[in-house]
Amino acid sequence: MSRYLVTGGAGFIGSHLCQRLCAEGHTVRVIDNLSTGRRENLADILSEIEFVEGDIRDVALLAEVVQQVDCVLHHAAIVSVPASVEQPLVEQEVNAVGTLRLLEAARQAGVGRVVFASSASVYGNNPQMPKHEDMPPEPESPYAVSKVMGEHYARVYSQIYGLEVVGLRYFNVFGPRQMPSSPYSGVISIFVAQMRAGESPTLCGDGHQSRDFVYVGDVVEANMRAS
């Protein structure tokens, strides 16, 4: 069995990862500042994990939590595009610089591999379908830029220091524990909440828009295979 650190582990995706890791018998440590994550997401496994309430911008704390870890699943981030437009400096500090600090801490601690959450937003509005990894990034928001920067840092740490890093570009993730009231929530959780309340789903625009969705269980499986 392996020892995992899950950053953002109390969040939507992170909590599902922790559940899977515990089910497979791995040792799990979580760091989350609970800005958007919730302890309730980990209620069923809280006694099985080590939970650290803290921020990945805390360099000293980050150096502590990566100790004696085989793999890091990095999901701590500000995931809102509108928030990145309103506060681009904060977005870069958490997402881009936070990823850099994590990579450096992992390198210093001798972590075997880092798997991190990137985003399909790096593609911008390129109409080419299907998307593929070799397409040049065309970020159109501070959030997307921060994810591209994270990928570049990951590549550099792999090439220069030999740190094993895998980046996963998520499209729109949906599934249980995604809060429909959250500004970060996807349209599927909002539609489901409306229909459960006996309401008709609210469609914006002319209804011809399309978007690519991925189930959170599939995201978890991708992380497990990448780790």
Peptide bond into 130 cis (omega under 30): yes
Provide the residue type at 21 as one letter.
Answer: L
Q: Tokens for 120, please give them.
A: 């399909």
Q: Is 143 a catalytic residue?
A: yes
**Among candidate residues 93, 99, 89, the one with its CA nearest the CA of residue 119:** 99
**Are 83 and 94 a contacting pair, CB within 8 Å?**
no
Q: Residue 200: how many CB atoms within 10 A of its CB?
A: 8
**Are 140 and 82 a contacting pair, CB within 8 Å?**
no
**Among candidate residues 173, 196, 199, 198, the one with its CA nearest the CA of residue 186:** 173
The rounded Cα 32 to chain-centroid distance in angstroms is: 12
**Spatial distance between the Cα atoms of 151 and 123, rounded to a whole number of angstroms:** 13
Single out the catalytic residue among 143, 153, 157, 170: 143
Angle between the N-to-C axes of helices 142-161 and 97-109, in degrees from 0 to 180, rounded to the nearest 10: 20
Residues assigned a catalytic role:
143
